[in-house]
């Protein structure tokens, strides 16, 4: 619910900025600054996602190893 609210507020703000830009009311430097901030956030999120994916890969590998060990152990009991 909060996510939807934030998305709507963001959309509204972008629409207002777009209207202002059409009237040349926003300096190009401000738009460039906003783009820089957004690109930095994107890079930050990509880095975090990549780190979390690496952590998940390690966990998956460990569980796969446990699975193989358990399978071999159970097969040897029979």
User: Residue 48: what pLDDT?
Assistant: 95
List strand residue ranges (DSSP E) for the chain, in order: none
- Confidence at 54, pLDDT banded by 50, 70, 90: very high
Q: Please tell me the distance from the alpha carbon of residue 35 to that of residue 26, in angstroms, as a whole number.
A: 13
Task: Using the predicted structure, report yes or no on whether residue 78 has a pLDDT greater than 70.
Answer: no
Reported pTM = 0.63
pLDDT in tens, 5-50: 888 888 888 888 888 888 888 888 988 999 999 999 999 999 999 9
Q: Please tell me the distance from the alpha carbon of residue 75 to that of residue 54, in angstroms, as a whole number.
A: 32
Measured between its terminal Cα atoms, the distance across the chain in Å is 54
């Amino acid at each position: 619910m909060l996510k939807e609210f934030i998305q709507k507020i963001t959309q509204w703000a972008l629409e207002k900025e777009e209207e202002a830009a059409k009237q040349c009311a926003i300096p190009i430097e401000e738009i460039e600054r906003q783009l820089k901030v957004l690109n930095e956030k994107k890079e930050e999120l990509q880095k975090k996602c990549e780190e979390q994916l690496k952590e998940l890969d390690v966990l998956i590998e460990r569980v796969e190893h446990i699975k193989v060990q358990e399978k071999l152990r159970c097969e040897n009991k029979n």
